[in-house]
Copies of this chain bind each other. A is one copy, B any other.
């Protein structure tokens, strides 16, 4: 079967993999990382690391010992237990790839209203679409930034949006310690207290070091919050070759290992056994514009090599996604996205943030792109099932009956099976040209506009227990009245 860890291309030779590892260890030991969080530095010093001012020189024996404490697979609970997931295909045969909507864009876009600053209503709609499609099995908070709400507190509104409109598991917003703690507290309310979510985690948090080689206060503080609550942490160096890492793929990979493993090691030091993912977000800087370029050969290599390295370290892998640089839902966007999705699936990526809806280098959450990506993801799901080899599908008798020169189009065998066996894309059509022209020469973008609206019409509100809802709202109200709690460093 394709898209399984044991079928993933090993893009690095053993020698190259060893070189990456050895160089990463040298980076940690000889260059070190800055850790701009007093408690974290204290913990690391107590564990025997050499700490000079803010610089921590990591001992490779310690790092490897720590990362070995992270599980290779874990359960992620949803408020609808049927939607809970096992994460980590390298560690558990029941695990599945986790696919989520886009997260992070400050802008939202659709053909009707165009590109605008993200609003909470856009966030709600993306979460409803994520809930409505069976292709995505997880939601990501921050689908579009709710810029119409007050910055200091809107992370809670977006978290509420995710919790309220979807009963799938989710990734929390958490871009700082206080925000991470709000997300944890809200999950506690939903799932019946701290003990419940510690027993089986209820959210995933993302930390990005400030590359190169800085663990800043905010992200370290968030990492500590999630580790303490035993919620899975996706440690993802955000590497743009030529900007936040050296202008080469092997240079990016060595830095990625150093940053990812130091983050995982710290998390394990805070709380042994907290699930951690090896995260890869790697591509190159387009030196003509200074912007990241997605879908390039380097980004394909980054995903494949990242997955190989994650498995070396026994960690579930987060990487890839439906990433594209194009500002429009055009051929470039689809081409870039397919480069990414093929690599993502070939690598048997465990957790895929931004699987649907990412446009314009991540600046825009596009509803039409969401519909396009859902279609592409569905095709990969079908591909993963592999070729059917039942007697009826092998079809010797059907061929014998049809015979040389016969027609299968109207044969009983075809009529009996085509609906079940053929994949016919709802989005991609094969009209004859005259019909297509008469109907207005519609491009995919226009068809996708119809597709996401149709999907939205199928949305069914999963509801939310009234007492929980009230408690969530009360918590948010209290927090909105205590702005000093948001002082972060």
Is A115 positioned at the interface, with any CB of B under 8 Å from its CB? yes
In the bound complex, how far is the Cα of B88 from the Cα of A407, in angstroms?
34
The reply to whether A213 and B379 form a contact with Cβ atoms under 8 Å apart is no
Taking a contact as CB atoms under 8 Å apart, the answer to whether A445 and B330 are in contact is yes
Cβ < 8 Å to B, chain A residues 285-309: 285-293, 295-298, 300-301, 305
Q: Per a CB cutoff under 8 Å, which of B246, B296, B327 touches A413? A: B246
Per the bound structure, the CA–CA distance linking A247 and B404 in Å amounts to 16
The answer, yes or no, to whether A160 is at the interface (CB within 8 Å) is no
Chain B neighbourhood of A288, CB < 8 A: 424, 429-430
User: For the complex formed by this chain, how many copies does it contain in all?
Assistant: 2
For A437, the closest partner residue in chain B by CB is B327
Residue in B16, B33, B396 whose beta carbon sits within 8 Å of that of A387 in the complex: B16
- Say yes or no: is A395 at the interface (Cβ < 8 Å to chain B): yes
Chain B CB within 8 A of A137 CB: no
Closest chain B residue, CB of each to CB of A249: B387
A432 CB contact (under 8 Å) in B250, B284, B289, B332: B289
Say whether A68 faces chain B, with CB atoms less than 8 Å apart. no
Enumerate A313-342 residues with CB–CB distance to B below 8 Å. 325-339, 342
Q: Quick check: A248 and B441 within 8 Å, CB to CB?
A: no
Chain B residues whose CB sits within 8 angstroms of the CB of A388 once the complex forms: 248-250
Q: A251-B398, A363-B433, A387-B11 are contacts. A408–B243 as well, Cβ < 8 Å?
A: yes
Q: Are A332 and B427 in contact (CB under 8 A)?
A: yes
> A287–B291 Cα gap in the complex (Å)?
43
State the Cβ distance, A185 to closest chain B Cβ, in Å.
32
Query: How near does chain B come to A254, taking the closest CB pair, in angstroms?
Result: 6
Taking the complex as formed, is A393 at the interface, i.e. its CB lies under 8 A from any CB of chain B? Answer: yes
| In the complex, per-residue mask of A362-379: 1 if CB is within 8 Å of any chain B CB, else 0 | 011000000010011001
**Cross-interface CB contact of A395 among B115, B250, B290, B429, cutoff 8 Å:** B250
Q: Considering the complex, which residues of chain A in the window 389-423 have a beta carbon less than 8 Å from any beta carbon of chain B? A: 389, 392-396, 398-400, 402-409, 413-414, 417-419, 421-423
Contact B34 A212, beta carbon cutoff 8 Å: no
Task: Pick from B333, B361, B422, B433: contact of A284, CB below 8 A.
Answer: B422
Q: Are B249 and A425 in contact (CB under 8 A)?
A: no
A444 and B326 contacting across the interface, CB-CB below 8 Å? yes
* Chain A residues proximal to chain B, CB less than 8 Å: 2, 7, 9, 11-12, 16, 19, 23, 26-27, 30-34, 55, 107, 115, 210, 212-214, 241-251, 253-255, 284-293, 295-298, 300-301, 305, 325-339, 342, 346, 360-361, 363-364, 372, 375-376, 379, 382-383, 386-389, 392-396, 398-400, 402-409, 413-414, 417-419, 421-425, 427-433, 436-437, 441, 443-445, 447-448
